[in-house]
Structure 1
Amino acid sequence: MTEHNTLSVEETLAALRAVGEATRLRLVALLAESELTVKDATAILGQSQPRISRHLKLLTEAGLILRFPEGSWVYYRLADGAAGEFARDLVGRVTTSDPVLSADRERFQAIRKAKAEEAAAYFADKASTWDTERSLHAADSDVERALLRVLGDKPFQSFLDLGTGTGRLLELLSDRYVSALGVDASHDMLAVARANLSRIGLNHAQVRHGDIYALNVPPRSFDVVAIHQVLHFLDDPARALAEAARALRPGGRLLIIDFAPHELEFLRDSHAHRRLGFGHDQMRRWIEALDLEMEQVTDIAPQTDQENKLTVTLWLARDPRIVTDLPVADPTREVA
């Protein structure tokens, strides 16, 4: 084991002292599955906000978890490196049948479900005017020009658009790919997308209902995977990125388009945003954790005379694996 994957005796004792308490062990067990806010943890554990905050502070000071302020919210996740691995290994050795931890997981899943339903209701209400409304937050024409520039002119075989919405990317890139699949969790959005694709006669792309956290596509089956203005609606962006990476062929590219960090809190309530943008360092950590290589980062700033307009960032990553002569999976085939 290399030195950077180990803890000193002092660090190990600090970690053991921090996690050696019932509430803090429950928090670490939850954080081993996903990021959490204090509000989420309070609802799951049924304890007061000051008490939860104190426990999270102790875990942070011990180096087991990291704290990420985002507007008026703060997200917590397990630390990187040896401390995070120590916490995951510890949780992995605790029986999954423990009634307290099982109840915590059930409440956590209920919160996730409620948030997903809230977002679905929002999309259902906004489907018919989605492209117009999205333009209120970013200069789509500038973003699309940058997107085309980043991907280059070279055609590719297969394209996967996650959170396809109204199918705009399927249309924009239609002369670049041989076949494409758009996936979305909203039936209303998919109805609009199908109508749009039919209207322009786009026959080499299809759309399908699906879960971005559990894609029903074969692994290693797409040359380009895009996640366009989707991650800020999700409670667990890293999990969605892992699914996207799973779908990449060796040498394939992952294109992420989303907002840079901002302070527009009203977007949480009015537009169902869960995250107020993503920083370069945060995205790079997620990408490198998936064994992908970040190739390019492009920031598109709003016009200076436009208030409440957000900077949009494009991140382009590549799967560094070498293409082999293994059989190529049909990317549009559903996985049983």
Structure 2
Amino acid sequence: MANSINKKLYTKITLLSLFLLLCPLVANSYNPIYNLAINCGSSTNTTSLDNRIWIGDNIDNINLFSFIEPKTTNPSFKTSPNSLSNTQIPFTTARVSLSNFTYSFSNIITNSPVFIRLHFYPTLYQNFEPTNAVFSVKVNNNNFSLLKNFNPSLWLNDANEEKITKEYCIQIKQNENLNITFIPNNINTSNVYYAFINGIEVVSMPSFLYYTNLDDTNYHFKFIGSDNTEYQIRNDKALEMVYRVNVGANQVPPSNDTGMFRDWKNDFPLYLEKEYPLSVSSDFGEHLNYLKNTVPNYTAPEVVYLTARSYGMNVTVDYNVTWNFEVDSNFTYMKMLM
């Protein structure tokens, strides 16, 4: 899914109600077959605060990935942000280039869908201004355009936000390399545009976590605002994660996910807009009962199921809760309530 540089195209989507779904779960979380985190622009392997190892892209990791760029008078270079205040891995270094460059992951990635996460810290790198970072990102010989005319600095949601992560799901075909190519915008020759990247994650995921299992007649999704029309998500499509929110509790960081390093944001104060009357954050405080093993527990961390927005058992007045999310009116969205 491509993202335009013009964020003004955005409109608002409002969810008037959200229900907690206590799904029956199984006992084991997911253990990814393939899990690679790259600290772009780093010459060494580094360990983040959550003890995850990030591989440097300047060392001999040919068995994991390769860095490819065409012969050019403007080769890419590694650098650090001019300001490193409160910056953590993978945002302490970057790969910056005026020309195309590609990260190629070998076909040791099995025939399965993967998460691709692209981490950006839009700030000043040497003499490269954030406003001139305008580029596209494509995968697998232009089969998918993940980002188009993208400027990370325009996608910061508030004044306190400094970094942005874009997350996608794509299906890797058997014996196919995963190639992620960064392409600076060269349409307007009056400006010198460049591409940059701070960190890349490639993590395998269960085959039918988000894609439809065509052999299961009960496995389907529904469009927001539709007449309950069922929709199949075939694995020849690339998916983009827009919001992942834990309702009624704090953020669940990637290290506390079920093995796929997903980040679950807290709903307040970023998205919770209206509460009539004031809702409370409820914590059920006990572990789930696992029944029938019909839904795997890697679907979401247990805390996501055990917290909610609630008005108690004896509500006698009408109420609603509103979460406000910005979305692009050019796309169609699906909701998954947990």
Larger RCO (CA within 8 A; separation ≥ 6)? 2
Structure with more of its chain in strand, by fraction: 2
TM-based fold match above 0.5: no
Q: What's the TM-score once normalised by structure 2's chain length?
A: 0.21
TM-score by length of 1: 0.21
